[in-house]
Amino acid sequence: MAVKSLFITATDTDAGKTFVSCLLLQGLAARSEKAVGVKPIAAGTNDQNQNGDALLLQRHSGIALPYQLINPICYQAPVAPHLAAVNEQQPISEAKLDQTLEQWQQLPLQWLLIEGAGGWLLPLDGQRYLADWVAKQQLPVVLIVGMKLGCLNHAMLTVREIARSGCQLLGWVANCVDPDMALAEQNIADLQQRIPAPCLGVVPYRPDNNEQVALNLASSLLRTSGCNTR
């Protein structure tokens, strides 16, 4: 059975890609679906030269994988990766991304969640964006919308750019990052009217029951993908 590969992007940095990806991994595991989360490119490391988001994906994945396979391209400084690549004299290699994707897709998995870095148009160099690689690989996209003031503009710009790239927007998640956001429910309803893809779920700010939220998200993903939710 072929691995179902998804690319997880967001409206901007700190919109909650890793948090939602880990919830999806937990929910898929609860549905007896073997899933792995990976982060092709990361910037910002600990003393062991490992990225915190990638470590969370590694921890919640259904298969134990070495860190280097979870996060093949990593830079020390917590800055835009293409700028870190220049400073550290280690260019971002699309060939390495291609090769690693092949390795991921040969794993004994049902789901592969590929988490981006930053927003949709993350630069790889002076001309290319990570979105160009996603389009080349024809990966379906899940968009995480960080619900806060300004998110309507950020969300719709991203949705339009995903469509312009020729990628399929499989669904989106409303992640409530601002507990004090005015008219949050109305904003979510507005986005549901505007985004031509299903809302997979709403993640509350610091949810009381992560397990239930995870299960709901995974169930929505399985339904949207045409899979049996058992």
- Phi, psi of 87, rounded to the nearest 5 degrees: -65, -35
39 is catalytic: yes
- Environment class of residue 217 by beta-carbon count within 10 Å: exposed (0-12), middle (13-18) or buried (19+)? buried
- CA separation for the pair 54, 39 (Å, rounded): 6
DSSP 107-127: SS-SEEEEE-SSSS--BSSSS
Which of 4, 17, 39, 148 is catalytic? The answer is 39
Which among 123, 109, 116 has a CA at the least distance from the CA of 143? Answer: 116
Which among 212, 25, 42, 218 has a CA at the least distance from the CA of 113? Answer: 25
Name the token pair of 132.
């160009």
Contact at 8 Å (CB) between 35 and 218? no
- CA separation for the pair 128, 121 (Å, rounded): 9
Name the token pair of 157.
């710009």
Name the token pair of 119.
């927003």
- CA separation for the pair 186, 192 (Å, rounded): 10
Q: Where in the sequence numbering do the catalytic residues fall?
A: 39
